[in-house]
Amino acid sequence: MNPKTKKLLIGILIAGLLVAAVAGVYAYAGQRAFISTLFSGLTLGSLFFMVAAGLTLIFGLMDVLNFAHGSMFMLGAYIGWQFYTNPTFIFGMAPFLLAFGAGVMVTPIIKPYLIALNISEKLQKALPKIAYVLALAALVFAFVGFDILSVANTAMVAATTTTVGNPLAELSAQEPLSTFWLRPFLMFVSGLLIAVASSRPGDKTQFAPREPIGKKLLMPAALLVLTALSTLVRESASESVLLMNGNLRFALSILLSVAFGFVFGAVIEITLIRPLYVRPTFILLMTLGLSYVIRELVQYLWDPLTYQMSRPPLFAQPGKASSIAEWLQKGSSTIDIYGATVPTYRLFIIALGIAMFILVIFVMTKTRLGMIIRAGVQDPQMVEAMGINVKAVFTVVFAMGVALAALGGIGAAPFLPVQPLMGDTYQTQGLITVVIGGMGSYIGAFVGAMILGMARAFGDYFALKLSLSPAIAEASTVIIMVIVLLTRPQGLFGKKE
C-alpha cells in the first residue's frame, strides 16, 4: 500500500475513533457537563502547549533538550506575580540583572579582538578560568550588604495581609542611590568578565570576523540605559505601578515576564550552553542542575510557600455574563456557554495558547528571522559565509524558547498556585507533549497538547463519576504516549530519521 494512502487511512481511523469517543461521552455526560469538561481540557491543553512550544523550538532547531524549561516557566510566573502584587522587588533587582546582561552582551563586540591576541597556549587555558573566578568575585561583592530578602518579602507581605485599602503600605525603602550605584557597576563588570571568558582569548580556531560594531553595540547600550533608568526610579516606579489600572498592570506583567525570559535565555545560552555544544550529554546534565539551582533560589527568596495571584479586574468581577460582549463590558468572572458556567480566565488561557501557536508558526515560516534561523540550523557554514552570525542565531532561538516558557508561566499564574514546584509537573507534561506530537514539530506539539489536555480532563471527570482512583486520570497521558510510541515511534507529526 502507498505510504501516503496508509497515512491517510490511519488519520481517518483516528479521527473516526475520536469523533465516536466524543459522541459517546456527550451522550453519557449530558450537554452541561460535557461543555464544562471540554473547556477544562482546552485549558489544560493550552497550559501544556505553553511549555511544549519553547521545548519544541529549542530542540527542533538546536537539538538541545532543556531540562530547566519547567523552572523557566515557573520563573515567568514568579516574576509576573511579583510585579502584579508588589513590584518593589522587581525594580530593586532590575539594575542588577540589566547591568549583568549588558556585560554579557558585549561578547560579540570584544570576541574578534580577544581571539586575535597572540598569547601562549598556557595563558589561553588560564585566562578563561581567571576571568570566571573574577566574575564570581565581582558578583558576590555586588550583593554584599544588600538586604535582598527584605526586598523580596514585600510581595509575600502583600499576598498574606490585607493591604487593599493602602497598597503602598508595605513598600520597603530602597537603598540610597549614593551607595547603591556601585552594585550595578560590579554586576556589569561581572558580565563583562564572563564575556571575556566565553570568548576564549587567543584561540584562533574559532571563527569571529571583525565587523562594524554599530548593530552589535545596540543591545548592550540599550541595557545600560535601562540600568541607569531603573536605578533612578526604583521607588517611584513601584508606587506608580501599584496605583495604575489592574488590567494594565497585568498586561505589563506579561510584557515584563517575556522580556525577562528572553534576556535570561540569551545569557544562559551564551554563558552555559554555548561552550557545551560539542558535549550534548553535558548540556542535559547542566540544564538539569540549573533547574535545581533556580528552584532553590526561588525558595530562598520567597520561601517554599504557595501564593495565589489575584486575577485582573477583567476576569474578577462577581456575576455571570451571558455573552462575550457582556463579559468584556462588565469584567465578569464567569460566562454562560450553552448552559455551562465557564470561568472567563479559562477563555484567556485558551486564547493565549492559540495565539502562541500562531505566533511561532508565523515567525518561523513567514519572516526573515525565521528563514535565517532555519537556514542557520540546516547549513551553518553556508550561512556564516553569507556574513550571518550563526552563534547569534542560536542565542536568539534559545532566548525565544525561554521567553515562550516565561509567557506561559505568567499566563498560568492567576489560574495555578504560584509555588516552586509548579514547573516540574508542566515540564513532564511538556516533554510528553513533544514526544507525542513529534520532536521539533510545532503543529505536533499543539495537537499533542490538546489531546493530552482532553484526556486528562475527561479522565478526571470519569474518575470522579465512577469513583475511580485519580491516579488513573493522571496516568492517562503516559498511556497515550506509550500507545503513540508503539504505533508511530517518531510521533504523530514527526519525521523518520
pLDDT digits (tens, 9 = 90+) for 272-298: 888 888 788 888 899 999 999 999 999
Residue 224 or 392, more confident: 224
Q: What is the pTM of this model?
A: 0.84
Strand-pair partners of 19: none
Confidence check: pLDDT of 351 > 90: yes
pLDDT at site 163: 40
Confidence check: pLDDT of 106 > 60: yes
46 in Cβ contact with 352 (< 8 Å)? yes
Confidence check: pLDDT of 312 > 70: yes
Helix axes 88-104, 214-232, angle to 10 degrees: 160
The predicted model gives 50-64 an average pLDDT of 83
Instruction: Report the distance separating Cα 295 and Cα 282, nearest Å.
Output: 20
Strand 340-343 versus strand 332-337 pairing type: antiparallel
pLDDT at site 10: 60
pLDDT at site 232: 87
261 in Cβ contact with 396 (< 8 Å)? no
Q: What 3-state class would DSSP assign to 304?
A: coil
Residue 21 or 268, more confident: 268
Confidence check: pLDDT of 446 > 70: yes
Nearest alpha-carbon partner for 94 in 81, 83, 107: 83
Percent of the chain with pLDDT over 90: 23
Confidence check: pLDDT of 259 > 60: yes
Strand 317-321 versus strand 332-337 pairing type: parallel
Degrees, nearest 5: CA angle 405-299-145: 110
Report DSSP letters for 306-331, one per residue.
-B-PPPPGGGTEEEEESSHHHHHHH-
Confidence check: pLDDT of 199 > 50: yes
pLDDT at site 161: 43
Q: Which of 9-18, 69-78, 139-148, 219-228 has the lowest mean pLDDT?
A: 9-18
The three three-digit cell numbers of residue 332, written as one number: 465578569
